[in-house]
Amino acid sequence: MKILVCISSVPDTTSKINFTADGKAFDKNGIQFVINPYDEFALTRAIWFQEKQGATVTVVTVGDASVEPVMRKALAIGANDAIRIDVDPKDSISTAKEIAKLAKENGYDLILAGRESIDYNGNAVPAFIAAELGYSFVNNCMGLEVEGESAKATSEIDGGKETVSFTLPAVVAGQKGLVEESDLKIPNMRGIMQARTKPLQVVASSNAEAKVVADGFEKPEPRSSVTLIDKDNVDELVRLLHEEAKVI
């Protein structure tokens, strides 16, 4: 079984987010980038299939050379090889088309991805990939079993869970439960050393057209100061609501 795992390079959740002076782009200075956490669940499940069923695991990222350290981490975790599509991702549709073209050319049986990236939270790329390829699609996947060309997945739905059976090829968008957090793979020294020599191929963009353009970014307004009032001082509370907050 050939598995393609889509990973995103995203800011660490502890990063302080800033934008460029003109507000047109995200400021990457001083930011630590990591594998998108949802993608880690997908990658770990792919490695499980590698260890138990002899699957080959390829990771793919759409981005410039700055994403390669994150790709090397995926290789250190256990992926067999990596492919970087050399273009700055603009929106979900163009990103999905780039990946779908690669997948079609290489005949992957299973495409795994996180359900969304934690930077834009679009929850769209995996579904667009499936639509482009005409493959079966499972979203919010919490459990996945594959036997030959047959697969069974459990996904989260409103108010419960849903179990579906389907045949490969397919696209599956995973979340926590696909593997547990305690099962996530951590690169060891041997994996890190092997990752240095594993193939990381750079392929040209297919120049898929972006449908969405960001005009600008801005931070939310900072929180205003808080006035504390003694719980027994009702008169002061009423005065402030009337004179300052002007809500009564």
pTM given for the model: 0.84
Please report the pLDDT score of residue 23 as a whole number. Answer: 85
| Position 209 in a domain | yes
Identify the domain containing residue 124 by its residue range.
2-221
| Position 226 in a domain | no
| Position 180 in a domain | yes
Please report the pLDDT score of residue 138 as a whole number. Answer: 96
| Position 46 in a domain | yes
> How many domains are contained in the chain?
1
pLDDT tens sequence across 147-156? 999 999 999 9
Region 223-232: mean pLDDT is 86
| Position 91 in a domain | yes
* CATH assignment at residue 29: 3.40.50.620
More confident: 125 or 226: 125
| Position 246 in a domain | no
| Position 237 in a domain | no
CA distances (Å), origin 220, targets 18, 26, 32, 70, 224: 11, 15, 22, 29, 12
| Position 41 in a domain | yes
